[in-house]
Amino acid sequence: KAGVTQTPRYLIKTRGQQVTLSCSPISGHRSVSWYQQTPGQGLQFLFEYFSETQRNKGNFPGRFSGRQFSNSRSEMNVSTLELGDSALYLCASRIGGPTTDTQYFGPGTRLTVL
């Protein structure tokens, strides 16, 4: 079974631009969560999508948004990029039941904002 895939793996953008990251979950998994990892803040939860609906949301500004498609693939969008958005963005998928299910992480997208 293929694992969680994320594209692109690396991205360089400039301040003010917007970016879209993609995550393909493990086949059969209906829940996709997004996380931001920065050296100073550690791993922080952005949001979770389940069956095309946002089910949970972390404390991030509205510039961070996401969506999920009917095939469970998910995209995350960050508008008006700031230098502080430079981070590793991870997505994780799970079957979709309660949050006691095991989560499987993708390799991440490394975003650098110049």
Partner 1 sequence: ILNVEQSPQSLHVQEGDSTNFTCSFPSSNFYALHWYRWETAKSPEALFVMTLNGDEKKKGRISATLNTKEGYSYLYIKGSQPEDSATYLCASIQNTGTASKLTFGTGTRLQVTL
- Give the number of C-alpha atoms closer than 13 A to the C-alpha of residue 87, restricted to the C-beta side: 23
User: Please, what is the minimum distance in Å from the beta carbon of residue 78 to partner 1?
Assistant: 20
Q: Does 112 bind partner 1 (CB under 8 A)?
A: no
Q: Does 5 bind partner 1 (CB under 8 A)?
A: no
Q: Sketch the per residue contact string, 34 through 73, with partner 1: x for CB under 8 A, - otherwise.
A: -x------xxxx---------xxxx---------------
Where does residue 11 rank: exposed (0-12), middle (13-18), buried (19+ CB within 10 A)? middle
CB nearer partner 1, residue 65 or residue 103: 103
Q: Does 99 bind partner 1 (CB under 8 A)?
A: yes
User: Which residues are CB-neighbours of 38 under 8 A, at least 6 positions away?
Assistant: 44, 84, 86, 87, 88
